[in-house]
Structure 1
Amino acid sequence: MFFYANEVYENRDFGSMDAREGEWTNCEFTRCRFRGVEMNESLMEGCTFVDCDFTGAILNASHYKESAFTNCLFTSANLFVARFDNCKLVGSDFAGANMDGITITGGDWSYTNLRHADLRKQDLRKIRFKEADLSECNLEKADLREADLTHARLHKAHLQGTDLRGAKMDGVNFKDLNITGAKLDMQQAVAVARSYGAKVEG
């Protein structure tokens, strides 16, 4: 186990590092590579990652607090039971990542690629998913109350039983969605009706 604080790294390759159970606080990483690195049960608080590559990284049970990952790659990474508390993931790519059991509390996940992610039964309240790609995601029985889904791509997403009340859904194509059993507020219900050509009068 190790502890790093207030360090700045640029173009650093951490691929051969054993980072299990490590702690990083207020560190900055720019264009660093964590490809295949083992970071099980690591803790990162107040850290910033820009254009970093976590392809194939093993991040099981890792914990991220108040950290930012901008335009980072998590392709095929293992994030089993990882936790993100009030983090910024804007523009990051999670293609093929294992996100089973992940916990997301608050934060900004706008413009992320979360295609095919399994987020069923997750508490995703008030999280920003603006223009995120959530195509074919499993969001069954997830709690998305007051989340920002403005212009999010939800093509073939599973929303059965999902709680969408209060979520911002401007620009969402409701005709693409299976919302059987989903909980909608009145504004959303009107938007769904209009998407199918209904004339709704006040």
Structure 2
Amino acid sequence: MWSGQEFTGESFNHEGFAHQEWRDCRFVACSFRGADLKELVTQGCVFSECDFVDAQLNASEHTNSAFLNCKFDEANLFVTRFTACKMTGSTFIKSNIGGLSINGGDWSFTNLRLQDLRGQKLNGLRLTEADLFQCNLEKTDLRGADLSRATLTNVKLAGADLRGATLDGVDMRTLDLRGTKIDLEQAVQFAKSFGAKVQ
């Protein structure tokens, strides 16, 4: 187990860390390209501007850790669990997120475009200015989520629950809300976006 370790600019490319446990460690500008991180457990760790491109993170678990401006492009995140993690500015281009579990946290400014998040429980999640272009959010629980200024162009929302979600700065006219659960305040916001006068 690593505890309290700090690394800056280190290369861990293609190295094996499967089944390890890291606590309160800090990594700055480190590279984990192609690394084996299967079933890795992190607790309270900080990864800043780290590269996880093509890494194997499947079945790993992360609690109260931060991944700031990290790249998870083409990484394997199958059945990975993030609990109360800060993922600000990280990218997930062409990554495998099947069975991904997100329990709270801050995913602001993340790039999740084209990802399949069907049926996910993202209630209360902060997604401020996240790029969700063409994401599949069908039957996704987004109650109380913060979607302020998020990119929701061509997003699939059928069956999703948006009640209590913050949609400030989102062009409601671009959303297909058929079959979506919304609250009264959102319904008024939606009507106003089309020029209706709600009295």
TM-score normalised by the shorter chain: which range applies? over 0.9
Equivalent-residue separation in structure 2 for 1:128 and 1:191 (angstroms): 20
Equivalent-residue separation in structure 2 for 1:189 and 1:63 (angstroms): 38
Equivalent-residue separation in structure 2 for 1:175 and 1:98 (angstroms): 31
Q: Deviations over 1:75-101 (max 9, x none)?
A: 111101000000000011111111111
CA-atom RMSD, angstroms? Answer: 0.7
- Counterpart of 2:157 in structure 1 is 159
Match of 2:84 among 75, 83, 86: 86
**Alignment map for 1:26-175 (pairs within 5 Å):** 26-175=24-173
Unaligned runs of 5+ in 2: none
Counterpart residue identity of residue 164, structure 1: L
Q: Deviations over 1:105-160 (max 9, x none)?
A: 00000010010111111110101000100111111001000000001110001111
- Runs of 4+ deviating beyond 4 Å: none
- Counterpart of 1:189 in structure 2 is 187
Unaligned runs of 5+ in 1: none
Confirm or deny that 1:17 pairs with 2:15: yes
Range that drifts further, 10-19 or 45-54: 10-19
Counterpart residue identity of residue 160, structure 1: A
Equivalent-residue separation in structure 1 for 2:88 and 2:163 (angstroms): 24
Equivalent-residue separation in structure 2 for 1:191 and 1:161 (angstroms): 19
Equivalent-residue separation in structure 1 for 2:139 and 2:28 (angstroms): 37
Kindly, what percent of the aligned residue pairs are identical?
49
Return the offset for 1:196.
1.7
TM-score by length of 2: 0.98
Return the offset for 1:179.
1.4
Equivalent-residue separation in structure 1 for 2:14 and 2:103 (angstroms): 31
TM-score by length of 1: 0.97
